[in-house]
Structure 1
């Protein structure tokens, strides 16, 4: 008679495996998509030092289901600086007699978990952008309003596409909704 209990010779489940199996039942999305979001959130927290991570199953705009679970969080530093904001920051620093951009506050970002073998089209990306706001919601409404007021340059929706490979490697790409002015180098 076979049992599911691990024998003394079998390894114990890893922390990530335990997280994935205990958290996957909380979502209305297919289990593999929920586990993918949890894996990306785990990687962002422990490998890239993101904070205040949340997994979203519904749209913050209309409370309808998102096409797939999405992650939001705050990276350790700003991921993208609008070219016009970059110029304004350089002018400010120059007027103060300093060089460089100075301290730029990190912003909450949307993260779209995907697998390398998935086929993405403009329509699928449009479905995602249709359900998300310019900024992901935070846990605190006052903080949300403060973030919106601080960065007047953030007017386009963007997501960080997290692409997971079979070997658990994850690469990240910033994707904007529509045409974005190119950066100045």
Structure 2
């Protein structure tokens, strides 16, 4: 399924966790760019069961259009990118920037790479913790 070596095994572990414990669908491990050159590390793309993140600007617009508190706000999921890592790994801003630069645009007409990913950190006891990570600064959400 994934490339060989520790990074490939890590990606397979995280993919199985997302699929069987968190009900993600359309999961795929990416090991190469579209031109077949290798990625700096395997990445996972997939569809979570509900939307994981709402940009603050989008949140403001939704709040304006959904004034009725009894009405459910739509949680249409978006394709997310996941970076499998191990707790013992040492990461720098430069290494995270390389990963963000290697990510493919989510929509075909777009040439911009995604600005967010899910960082999946695996502990030696196989516990996986997920964090949302942004490329750059994002203003805080409205409460």
TM value normalised by structure 1:
0.70
**Alignment gaps of 5+ in structure 1:** 1-22, 136-143, 149-153
1:103 to partner: Cα distance: 1.1
1:53 to 2:11 alignment: no
Aligned to 1:92: 65
**TM-aligned CA distance change 1:76 to 1:164, over 3 Å:** same
**Alignment gaps of 5+ in structure 2:** none
CA distance in 1, matches of 2:102, 2:36: 9
Aligned to 2:47: 74
CA distance in 2, matches of 1:184, 1:49: 28
SS of residue matched to 2:30: strand
**TM-aligned CA distance change 1:124 to 1:167, over 3 Å:** same
Aligned to 1:163: 121
Does 1 or 2 have the higher relative contact order (CA < 8 Å, sep 6+)? 2
Larger helix proportion, structure 1 or 2? 1
Give the root-mean-square deviation of aligned CA atoms. Answer: 2.2
**TM-aligned CA distance change 1:38 to 1:48, over 3 Å:** same
CA distance in 2, matches of 1:59, 1:155: 12
TM value normalised by structure 2:
0.89
Aligned to 1:174: 132
Number of equivalent positions: 141
Larger strand proportion, structure 1 or 2? 2
CA distance in 2, matches of 1:145, 1:126: 22
Larger Rg: 1
